[in-house]
Amino acid sequence: MEIAVESMASGVGMRKNETLICAPLMADTVDQVVNLMHKSKATGADIVEIRLDHLKSFDPHSDIQKLIKECPLPTLFTYRPIWEGGQYDGDENTRFNALQLCMKLGADHIDIELKAAHEFNKFLNGGKPEKCKVIVSSHNYDSTPSSEELGNLVARIQAAGADIVKFATTAVDITDVARVFQITVHCQSFQVPIIAMVMGERGLMSRILCPKFGGYLTFGTLEAGKVSAPGQPTIEQLLNLYNFRLIDSDTKVFGIIGKPVSHSKSPKLYNRAFREDGFNGVFLHLLVDDLPKFFDTYSSSDFSGFSCTIPHKEVALSRCDEVDPVAKSIGAVNCVIRRPNDGKLFGCNTDYIGAISAIEDGLRENGASGPVSPLAGKLFVVIGAGGAGKALAYGAKEKGARVVIANRTYERAKELAEIIGGQALSLADLESFHPESGMILANTTSIGMQPKIEETPVPQEALKHYELVFDAVYTPKITRLLGEAQEVGAKIVTGVEMFIGQAYEQYERFTGLPAPKQLFKEIMGDH
């Protein structure tokens, strides 16, 4: 693949695959496009797609010549008509003329829609310059067809004279992407260059993992949101967040499964650490609607481990082949590992380890010492009885604390207290609850979380009975509860520390390597 080798020689950092990053350029004027071409090169793109249909006006001969001459990268010209999702609404003859001119003037690629390919071939009448590769494309903005239909589509695209096959479909479910990966691998084995993208947030992994399966190129935008098709990441994200250049056929896939999930900082944390440790893995945002279907579809050993977040922690537990006993008691799994020896899914809960070890560290900083957990014998008040509440309650109990659960729905507090052998309170009773001093308080509800940062679960007056106050909420880092606890002299432990703590544990389970603790703290802004 000529272009990839060229840009490898131009040295865009270390590179383990030949898949190109293509910047789609959509602007009103030719000068703006030229400007964007230079920006694309500086950002790390390998090739630019010039969307002629977005130009308000252009003189075919002089402007196409200028665009080709001034482009510092290989070019792909697309003149997308309205009927295929583009902006051009003129006649086909004008469009074909412009594309033919692109070919004659030295474009590296042009894109022609499958629906127009037959007419375009007739128009060219065999006059195709050797240098220019023709991409024949098909776009489906509604769904991703069956494997059989995709196979037929590729055959039709090839029959239409494609040098490079391109199709983009829409992900209704994340499992749709698996069929597209299969086709990509199949084409690669027959040395048919293919661009196969699945649009939408549920299709994101098609855009990131294409080098693993041998895709010809992926699209990366210069700016977030300025996309030519739904779901495109930025070039910056491809290169720096997902380590796109380092992905190869052996790369292990990890990810955070959730709904919603795009806000998660986990990919930032793990991918940086993978890169610095030289670990051949990639960590993705996985927007999953149906967890059992996801596990059934992505069952190969390449899909090696997953973090699970709301709302999948309980279902994950039921779909693992084996579950750690503590996770079973908590009733929630937030980390799933595919065992390399037999491919079975093992689930565990690192939330409780993260929170409890952060609280223990806090108590030690406050003067606790000795080999026994500083939680042993302490009165530990947990606010909340959901997933995080259960994790904290079990964790504290395991360390020998006496546990009290306070929850808005008293019945849930009672239920949890009975299971772990603790005391239940209503939230209202918490204010006057101070049987002793030096207690620990852990908020595991979302009270105080952005945007409702003015809320707090307990009046400040009640906080003076606590030695340490922990908040699972981590946006903002210092919640009103933690700010007020600090004011009355309590030691505080933040939700960011819990998040980092659970991530240490997951990283070690995913990679078998010690977690780069300092790096995680730096990335989370928690030195």
Inter-CA distances, 513 with 178, 246, 308, 349, 516, Å = 29, 19, 21, 19, 9
Q: Is 114 in the site for ligand NAP (CB under 6 A)?
A: no
Q: Closest approach of Cβ 478 to ligand NAP, in Å?
A: 13
Q: Is 331 in the site for ligand NAP (CB under 6 A)?
A: no
Q: Is 196 in the site for ligand NAP (CB under 6 A)?
A: no
Q: List the one residue from 12, 27, 310, 419 that touches ligand NAP (CB under 6 A).
A: 310
Interatomic CA distance for residues 442 and 17, integer angstroms: 47
Percent of the chain as helix, strand, coil, to the nearest 5: 45, 20, 35
In the residue annotation, 16 being an active-site residue is answered as no
Q: Is 359 in the site for ligand NAP (CB under 6 A)?
A: no
The encoded tokens of residue 161 equal: 């004279």
Nearer to ligand NAP among residue 243 and residue 444 (C-beta): 444
Interatomic CA distance for residues 78 and 70, integer angstroms: 17
Q: With CB under 6 A, what is the number of residues at the site for ligand NAP? A: 25
What is the Cα 237 distance to its own chain's centre? 10
Nearest alpha-carbon partner for 221 in 209, 212, 231, 206 = 231
Interatomic CA distance for residues 76 and 401, integer angstroms: 65
Q: Closest approach of Cβ 408 to ligand NAP, in Å?
A: 3
**Stretch of residues binding ligand NAP (CB under 6 A), selected from 151-159, 285-293, 298-306, 440-448:** 440-448
**Phi, psi dihedral angles at 329 (to 5 degrees):** -65, -40
In the residue annotation, 139 being an active-site residue is answered as yes
DSSP three-state, residue 33: helix
Q: Is 476 in the site for ligand NAP (CB under 6 A)?
A: no
Q: Is 258 in the site for ligand NAP (CB under 6 A)?
A: no
Q: Closest approach of Cβ 387 to ligand NAP, in Å?
A: 4
Q: Is 502 in the site for ligand NAP (CB under 6 A)?
A: yes
Q: Closest approach of Cβ 210 to ligand NAP, in Å?
A: 32
The encoded tokens of residue 312 equal: 């999948």
Length reported for the chain? 527
Nearer to ligand NAP among residue 169 and residue 444 (C-beta): 444
Q: Is 426 in the site for ligand NAP (CB under 6 A)?
A: no
Beta bridge partners, 305, equal: 254, 337
Residues 368-407, one symbol each (x = binds ligand NAP by CB under 6 A, - = not), give ----------------xxxxxx-----------------x
In the residue annotation, 259 being an active-site residue is answered as no
Q: Is 264 in the site for ligand NAP (CB under 6 A)?
A: no
Nearest alpha-carbon partner for 135 in 105, 160, 104, 172 = 160
Inter-CA distances, 202 with 98, 212, 271, Å = 35, 18, 20
Q: List the one residue from 96, 242, 279, 499 that touches ligand NAP (CB under 6 A).
A: 499
What is the 8-class DSSP label of residue 137? E
In the residue annotation, 166 being an active-site residue is answered as yes
Binding site for ligand NAP (CB under 6 A): 310, 351, 354, 384-389, 407-409, 412, 444-447, 449, 472-474, 495, 498-499, 502
Residues taking part in catalysis: 139, 166, 313, 351
